[in-house]
């Protein structure tokens, strides 16, 4: 996500000492079939923005006469960008997954500022996602459509990383526009090897890659082979290197060309605010991530030599994390939900453990992300779970089921730590009333809108995190475990209906998904009422059977915080006559 002006500077943490950092930042984790517990593929996405209203988008499938034109509006701002030719056939899309189990997520990395805008371009990154979901039947086809749309209509946004997956393959694609004067974008796409996991979080991550050999790697002028040959696991725009040379961004040997280090060099902010979120997931699933902890904290090295011994002509970073790792355990949807709730717990940067957490251990810091004291710039941490999330999801694609049944987008509103991931099957023909577009807006309240209901609970929890959040998390776990346990039964019922008539299965799954979303939202509103009554005014109230009034406890601020108060105030608050 991004503000169009600021995100061109996303990776440049210190801009003339200003500490500017994008207000929008997203996180994607990518799981291959061989790395999941059941052989499904999965990707996650947190759409983080202080000005994004969380909704579950839906586009119905349709057919269009030849020559039909459609309007394109920038996803972030609603600005009209122009008209493009409509596809003759478009597919059903629910959120960020379509009826063929193609799912796409993104994170903005910005990249070189001079490539952050393109006059006359029509396709912004958000439109690129949702137009492609309406047109693609596979991840490979989505990559081809990305290239066609940006080449034909120009690329309006700054640099983006995309997760593109179907029920069999998981890809990471990184793309940046060519700036003014040339239409389109340069890009690289790599398939995550089966059995491995990857991630990206607002820092471009594809470094070097296999150059075209016609066997495992091709360029964009060979899409026919790419679509046919599953052995092709890397594809890139034909001019990705030559364009960099032409612009003076790259001087080294072709074999040493790194997409990320050329178009979006990593610096303190790119590591500390971005790569650290990838590190947190990698650290949960594999060993030896301590080797990259200093890098994740923002300590970037620029050695004189590259890993292959060549001179580091272009001053690339030389201590970067791998693009993917092999996990030492199989990953489930429940694991993915927890990855999205990480606050750097267990590390020296755990925000719940320093003075900024206050008396109640709040693992959040309100923005701005950076601040200055006595002319020195400092930062708050930017963990995976964050308060400004509009919506997040874990999409799960399963190749052993018919497409409308196989794809599930586990969808949540607001901060992932305080949200319930609810199952929305990819074939459903409408969104739940509580999540549909138009039910409320960022400055328009709607009492039955899931976004506002979940925000009520999370923002109340922020006031006394250590007391309130355990009860919130217990409630979340109950719902999610229920939904995961129910999934095989829902699948079987839908599969039996599908064999009779696919439309019956779609209708059944639509009713299940929408009723589940509406039910959880309504019950979550009741849960907020319960929490408010129990924890209001700094008290904790519990039922007192047989009595009119509840039991009331007053836990106060805790010994650690009380000591901090005494240290700061001395005898000012001392009760006269108390023991020394």
Portion of the chain with pLDDT greater than 90, in percent: 95
Strands 62-63 and 28-31: unpaired
In this prediction, residue 577 carries a pLDDT of 79
**Element (DSSP H or E) covering residue 190:** strand 185-191
Q: Give me the mean pLDDT over the 123-142 stretch.
A: 98
Q: What's the pLDDT tens digit per position in 504-550? A: 999 999 999 999 999 999 999 999 999 999 999 999 999 999 999 99
Q: What is the predicted pLDDT for the residue at 578?
A: 61
pLDDT tens digit sequence for 427-451: 999 999 999 999 999 999 999 999 9
Using N-to-C axis directions, what is the helix angle for 502-535 and 450-463, rounded to 10°? Answer: 30
Is 576 or 277 the better-scoring residue by pLDDT?
Answer: 277
Mean pLDDT of 295-313: 97
Predicted structure pTM score? 0.94
CA distance 166 to 546: 57
152-185 per-position pLDDT tens digit: 999 999 999 999 999 999 999 999 999 999 999 9
> Reduced to 3 states, what is the DSSP secondary structure of residue 104?
strand
| CA nearest to 425, candidates 503, 511, 544, 541 | 511
Residue 25 confidence (pLDDT): 77
Residue 56 tokens read as 């579950």
Segment 367-385 mean pLDDT:
95
Query: Given this model, what pLDDT does residue 10 score?
Result: 37
User: In this predicted structure, which of 6-10, 118-122, 202-206, 300-304 has the lowest mean pLDDT?
Assistant: 6-10
What average pLDDT does the segment 30-47 reach?
A: 98
pLDDT of 571 higher than 80? yes
* Residue with the two structure tokens 């517990």: 37
Q: What is the mean pLDDT of residues 245-253?
A: 97
Angle CA 476–479–481, to nearest 5: 100
| 80-108 mean pLDDT | 98
- Per the CB < 8 A criterion, the answer to whether 237 and 220 are in contact is yes
* pLDDT at residue 560 tops 60: yes
Q: Is residue 24's pLDDT more than 70? A: no
Rounded Cα–Cα distance for residues 39 and 477 (Å): 23
**pLDDT, tens digit (0-9, with 9 covering 90-100), for 27-36:** 999 999 999 9
- Does the pLDDT of residue 4 top 50, yes or no? no
On the question of pLDDT at 71 being above 50, the answer is yes
Q: Is the pLDDT of residue 135 over 90?
A: yes
Q: In the 3-class helix/strand/coil scheme, how is 525-539 assigned residue by residue? A: HHHHHHHHHHHHHHC
Please tell me the least confidently modeled range out of 34-43, 434-443, 556-565: 556-565
pLDDT-based confidence at 13, cuts 50/70/90? Answer: very low
pLDDT at 162: 98
Average pLDDT over residues 333-347: 97
- The pLDDT tens digits of the residues spanning 474-501 come to 999 999 999 999 999 999 999 999 999 9
pLDDT over 50 (residue 15): no
Please tell me the predicted confidence (pLDDT) of residue 580: 57
Whole-angstrom Cα distance, residue 119 to residue 180? Answer: 6
Listed by start position, the domains of the chain span 6-379, 401-538
Asked if residue 368 has a cis previous peptide bond (ω within 30° of 0), the answer is yes
């Amino acid at each position: 996500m991004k503000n169009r002006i600021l995100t061109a500077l996303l990776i440049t943490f210190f801009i003339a000492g200003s500490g500017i950092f994008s207000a929008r930042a997203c996180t994607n984790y990518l799981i291959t079939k061989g790395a999941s517990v059941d052989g499904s593929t999965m990707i996650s996405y947190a759409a983080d923005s202080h000005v994004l209203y969380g909704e579950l988008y839906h586009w119905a499938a349709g057919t269009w006469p030849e020559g039909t034109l459609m309007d394109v509006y920038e996803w972030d701002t609603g600005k009209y960008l122009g008209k493009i030719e409509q596809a003759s056939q478009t597919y059903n899309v629910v959120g960020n997954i379509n009826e063929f189990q193609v799912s796409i997520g993104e994170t903005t990395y910005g990249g070189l500022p001079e490539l952050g805008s393109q006059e006359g371009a029509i396709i912004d990154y958000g439109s690129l996602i949702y137009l492609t979901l309406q047109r693609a039947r596979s991840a490979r086809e989505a990559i081809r459509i990305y290239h066609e749309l940006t080449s034909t209509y120009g690329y309006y946004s700054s640099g983006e990383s995309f997760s593109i997956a179907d029920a069999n393959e998981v890809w990471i694609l990184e793309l940046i526009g060519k700036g003014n004067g040339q239409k389109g974008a340069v890009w690289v796409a790599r398939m995550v090897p089966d059995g491995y996991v990857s991630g990206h979080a607002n820092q471009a991550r594809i470094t070097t890659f296999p150059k075209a050999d016609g066997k495992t790697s091709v360029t964009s002028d060979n899409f026919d082979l790419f679509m046919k040959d599953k052995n092709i696991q890397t594809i890139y725009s034909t001019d990705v290197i030559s364009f960099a040379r032409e612009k003076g961004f790259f001087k080294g040997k072709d074999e040493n060309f790194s997409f990320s280090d050329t178009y979006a060099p990593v610096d303190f902010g790119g590591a500390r605010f971005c790569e650290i979120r990838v590190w947190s997931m990698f650290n949960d699933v594999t060993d030896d991530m301590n080797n990259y902890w200093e890098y994740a904290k923002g300590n970037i090295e620029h050695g004189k030599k590259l890993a292959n011994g060549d001179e580091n002509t272009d001053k690339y970073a030389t201590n970067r994390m791998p693009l993917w790792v092999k996990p030492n355990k199989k990953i489930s949807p429940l694991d993915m939900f927890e990855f999205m709730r990480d606050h750097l717990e267990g590390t020296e940067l755990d925000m719940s453990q320093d003075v900024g957490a206050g008396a109640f251990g709040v693992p959040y810091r309100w923005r701005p992300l950076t601040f200055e004291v006595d002319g020195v710039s400092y930062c708050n941490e930017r963990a995976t779970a964050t308060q400004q999330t509009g919506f997040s999801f874990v999409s799960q694609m399963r190749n052993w089921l018919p497409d409308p049944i196989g794809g599930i987008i586990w969808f949540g509103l607001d901060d992932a730590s305080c949200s319930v991931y609810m199952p929305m099957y990819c074939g459903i023909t409408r969104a739940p009333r509580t999540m549909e577009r138009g039910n409320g807006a960022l400055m328009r309240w709607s009492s039955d809108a899931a976004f506002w209901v979940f925000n009520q609970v999370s923002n109340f929890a922020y006031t006394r995190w250590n007391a309130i959040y355990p009860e919130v998390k217990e409630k979340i776990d109950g719902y999610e475990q229920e939904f995961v346990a129910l999934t095989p039964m829902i699948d079987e019922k839908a599969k039996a209906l599908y064999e009779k008539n696919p439309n019956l299965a779609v209708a059944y799954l639509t009713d299940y998904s929408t009723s589940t979303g509406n039910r959880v939202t309504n019950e979550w509103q009741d849960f907020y009422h319960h929490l408010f009554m129990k924890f209001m005014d700094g008290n904790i109230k519990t039922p007192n059977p047989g009595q009119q009034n509840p039991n009331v406890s007053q836990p106060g601020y805790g010994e650690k915080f009380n000591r901090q108060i005494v240290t700061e105030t001395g005898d000012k608050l001392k009760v006269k006559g108390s023991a020394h």
